[in-house]
Amino acid sequence: MERVRAAKRAPGDDPLFALTPEDLNTLWEKEKAQSRIQANPRDSTIPCCVTTRKTDNGYARLHIPAEMRKKYPSMPDYGNGGKNNMRVFAHRLVLLATGRRPERSTCDASHLCGNASCIEPTHLVWERHPVNMDRHGCHVHGWFEVCPHTPPCLARVPFQEPDRP
Ligand SMILES: [Zn+2]
Ligand SMILES: [Zn+2]
Side-chain half-sphere exposure of 8, counting CA atoms within 13 A: 2
Q: What are phi and psi of 27, to 5 degrees?
A: -70, -40
pLDDT recorded at residue 125: 98
More confident residue, 82 or 30: 30
Lowest mean pLDDT of 20-29, 30-39, 48-57, 68-77, name the range. 68-77
Helix (H, G, I), strand (E, B) or coil at 164: coil
CA of 38 to the centre of ligand 1 (A): 8
Distance CA 23, CA 29 (A): 10
Ligand number nearest CA of 124 is 1
> Do 114 and 43 contact (CB within 8 A), yes or no?
no
pLDDT tens sequence across 126-158: 999 999 999 999 888 888 888 999 999 986 444
Fold of the domain spanning 15-141: Homing Intron 3 (I-Ppo) Encoded Endonuclease; Chain A (3.90.75)
Distance 48 CA to ligand 1 centre (A): 4
Residue 80: DSSP 8-state? G
Report CA(57)–ligand 2 centroid distance (Å).
21
Dihedral over alpha carbons 91, 26, 46, 117 (to 10 degrees)? -30
pTM of the entire predicted model: 0.82
Segment 21-35, tens digit of pLDDT = 999 999 999 999 999
Ligand nearest to the CA of 60: 1
